[in-house]
Amino acid sequence: MASFDLIVIGSGPGGYIGAIRGAQLGLNVAIVEKDPAGLGGTCLRRGCIPAKTWLESAHRFEQMHSLKEYGIAGVDVSALKADLATIVARKNKIVFKNGKGIEFLMKKNKITVLKGAGKLLGGGKVEVEGEIHEGKKIMLATGSVPKALPGLETDGVRVLNSDHILDIQEVPQHLVILGAGAIGVEFASVFARLGSKVTLVEFMDRILPIEDASVGEELAKLLTKLHKMDIRVKTKITSIERHDDKVVCHLEGEKGGIVEGTHLLVAVGRGPVTANVGLEATAAKVDRGFVEVDSMMRTTEPNLYAIGDIVKTPWLAHVASDEAIVAAEHAAMELGKDVHPHAINYDRVPSCTYCDPEVGCIGMTEQKAREAGKDVMVGSFPFMPLAKANIVGEPHGFIKIVADKQFGEILGIHILGPKATELISSSVALLGGEYTVEELIHTMYPHPTLNEAFPEAARAVYGRALNM
């Protein structure tokens, strides 16, 4: 029986970061991974990273069709076509390279890699491929998998989930997507730009339903205008007919009817991987697959932590990484190391959707702020008047600020437009009461940049934007 200070089960962006932080603090660490492809988890192997390689290829493909407008002649853009085999190969190359990078980090930090499925046995013991290992502390970071719907089971051929579509070898003639959350709208904008007809179906009253209402409503208009998407909200797929060359989808709701697609992507979210990991052998509490934890990521089983997609916090890679650091530091502190972990402030978690145009948000939506009893004031500023937005050819969308009227505290920032996922990063420091709308008005941003929209949105809160 091998003994460790910390055993981490799962090597995604939560697990491997937690393992490294534990090792940095002087703990003897092991990490367990069942995926024969290697370390990295869903984010690297089947999620964030491979999806973004597809998005980059789609973005460049779209840009090539406007070369003449930018003064680049001699290219017959009508002959351009998407080579999906090469896109997949590039995706695989990037995934492989990053996986090797994680392996290097494990060696560098002297972390033992245990290959196989890890199962909790209780009492600080973990079984991996028939071998028992003992950990003074254990971190469960088993992640999530695509949700399945009865009657819409995926087959990897005509009915796909987000794992399958990453390796698709043909551009769908007509891609029907069920679910207009981040995964659905990202793949919608990928394949619309690569030449697919896209029908996007969402049960809620708008796309990106968890974001500020103004973002989802404006994004739907832009996707319809820029990419000719057929967007159907307040609608669901009740049944499908599978054929060799198509999927017939029966829809009910505001835009019901029958839609025939060559492929159907089921993108209705993900579910936590907590079955068959041995939680029943512990005192940990589990609610509908989610493990209950406190602010230090501790479960009700002594010395067992849980982080990432298996707990009821935002399902984002950067959240899982920070949670893993909290858990590793708390474990190290209890094992006598001089470290002082700090709980995560979940009110200041940035979220990103890498569709076209992009979405980046942090803090309260206008609706949530009003529901919380805030005396709300809002201001929005479009990217269209900004020179830089026109230079890059993406004068779409806006920055919206949600603020508290009494003190001018910035409660939320919501961005739809060019480089929104980069712009939101600079917004993190603007929340939490340390910054007010008035202070943002007097903050100087360089010209010409997309960042110039920030002080203008702040001025718009008080109805005095300069560039309108």
Question: What is the structure's pLDDT at 427?
Answer: 87
Query: Which residues does 465 contact at the CB level (< 8 Å), separation at least 6?
Result: 379, 381, 456, 457, 459
On the question of pLDDT at 468 being above 60, the answer is: no
Per-domain boundaries in the chain = 2-145+272-334, 159-268, 357-461
Written as six digits, the tokens of 131 are 């071998």
List residues with catalytic annotation.
447
Same fold, 2-145+272-334 and 159-268: yes
As a whole number of angstroms, the distance between CA 41 and CA 62 comes to 30
The matching CATH number, chosen from 3.50.50.60, 3.40.50.300, 1.10.10.10, 3.40.47.10, for 2-145+272-334 is 3.50.50.60
- In the chain, % of residues over pLDDT 70: 100
434 band by pLDDT with thresholds 50, 70 and 90: confident
Task: Output the pLDDT for position 466.
Answer: 74
Averaged pLDDT for residues 41-48: 94
pTM: 0.95
Q: What top-level class would CATH report for the domain 357-461?
A: alpha beta
Could you say which of 3.50.50.60, 3.40.50.1820, 2.40.50.140, 3.40.50.1100 is the CATH number of the domain covering 159-268? 3.50.50.60
With cut-offs at 50, 70 and 90, classify the pLDDT of residue 432. confident
- CA gap 106, 113 in Å, rounded: 8
28 pLDDT above the threshold of 70: yes
Find the range with the poorest average confidence among 21-35, 126-140, 454-468. Answer: 454-468
CA distance 323 to 328: 9
HSE, side-chain direction, 13 A CA sphere, residue 147: 14
